[in-house]
Amino acid sequence: MVPSLIIYGLINSVALALIALGFSLTYGISRVANFSHGALYVVTGFAAWLLLNRVQLNYYLAVFLAVVLISVIGASIYRLALIRVRGMPLLEIIVTFALGTAALEALRFFGFFGSNYSLPPLFRGGVTLLGVPVDTQRLAVVVIGGTLVFILWLVTHHTRVGLAFRAMAQDEQAAMMLGIDSDLMATWSLALGAALVGLSAIVLLPLSFIATESGANILVSAIAVCILGGLESTAGVIVASLLIGYAQILTVAYLGPHYQMIVALLAILVTLIVKPSGLFGKQKELEERV
């Protein structure tokens, strides 16, 4: 029991971190809370499915095209819509949320729901760790998740674009004074956030079905992790996904599967009431309370 809880808790935590990274990155750089996050996840899944099964592409090509497509969609959400309501957070939320809902309901209308659609796993077979059977795809989730976090850290700390991102996150006005194009960076942040959630969809979806119903759950999970960790902190994302990931696995094991989302929702509420800036968020500590 205990080894299996530890292993599956870790896998669940990394999955949560993968889902939340894109949301956190976008919010951290451009202050856009992308409420179409869950919809982007589902859209990537169906795009990859269509490319694989209707266009009959090679697996790697299909996956690559799906991720590129979703990042183009992310960038165009900013360029075509968000740019007009920039700086008004509530309108940004309403716009992204409505766009996400529209995409999900459109997919449902065209018959993309239920358990008929799934992506093939990247790796088949399984291994036994500490006496617990684990399939290779779940191990791949952990490895890919860890690699992504590392690459993200490298990019944001050692490239010019990454440094510009962090400058935007710290002080947008000062960054603009130094010649950093705020709109361009925000477009990039939306595109990168979308690409990250697309990648997570490619890695995580083979473990279950592609379902439009999961869009809301993905959004709630991402928000839960980001709120608990602090909205702009990558370290916060990692710690918060470990906390929520293990809490979910424990409640599922001892109370039942219905409680998985309740843990995430409670995490959001309790954090917002007790410490709205989250565990690691420092920058907005004063502004968010009256």
Binding site for another protein (CB under 8 A): 33, 81, 84-85, 89-91, 93-95, 97-99, 101-102, 105-106, 108-109, 216, 220, 223, 227, 256, 258-259, 261-262, 265-266, 268-269, 272-273, 276, 287-290
- Output the smallest distance, CB 172 to another protein, in A: 16
Amino acid in position 125: G
- Output the smallest distance, CB 24 to another protein, in A: 14
Considering beta carbons, is residue 161 or 285 the nearer one to another protein? 285
CA-nearest of 153, 194, 200, 190 to 17 is 200
- Output the smallest distance, CB 101 to another protein, in A: 5
- Output the smallest distance, CB 85 to another protein, in A: 7
Considering beta carbons, is residue 59 or 259 the nearer one to another protein? 259
> 126 vs 3, 118, 129, 130, 139, CA distance in Å?
16, 19, 10, 13, 9
Q: CA–CA separation, 206 vs 204, rounded Å?
A: 6
CA 248 to chain centre: 17
Considering beta carbons, is residue 27 or 49 the nearer one to another protein? 27
Residue 257 carries which DSSP code? T
Considering beta carbons, is residue 75 or 99 the nearer one to another protein? 99
Do residues 115 and 109 touch, judged by C-beta distance below 8 A? Answer: no
Within 10 angstroms of residue 84's Cβ, the number of other Cβ atoms is 9
Considering beta carbons, is residue 2 or 90 the nearer one to another protein? 90
Altogether, the residues listed in the chain come to a count of 290
126 SS3 class = strand
User: How many Å from the N-terminal Cα to the C-terminal Cα in the chain?
Assistant: 47
Do residues 73 and 43 touch, judged by C-beta distance below 8 A? Answer: yes
Considering beta carbons, is residue 145 or 229 the nearer one to another protein? 229
Q: CA–CA separation, 233 vs 55, rounded Å?
A: 40
CB neighbour list of residue 169: distance below 8 Å, 6 or more residues apart: 28, 29, 232
- Output the smallest distance, CB 188 to another protein, in A: 21
Considering beta carbons, is residue 163 or 266 the nearer one to another protein? 266
CA-nearest of 273, 161, 190 to 227 is 273
- Output the smallest distance, CB 11 to another protein, in A: 23
Considering beta carbons, is residue 61 or 269 the nearer one to another protein? 269
- Output the smallest distance, CB 220 to another protein, in A: 7
Token pair of 78 as six digits: 């900013």
- Output the smallest distance, CB 171 to another protein, in A: 19
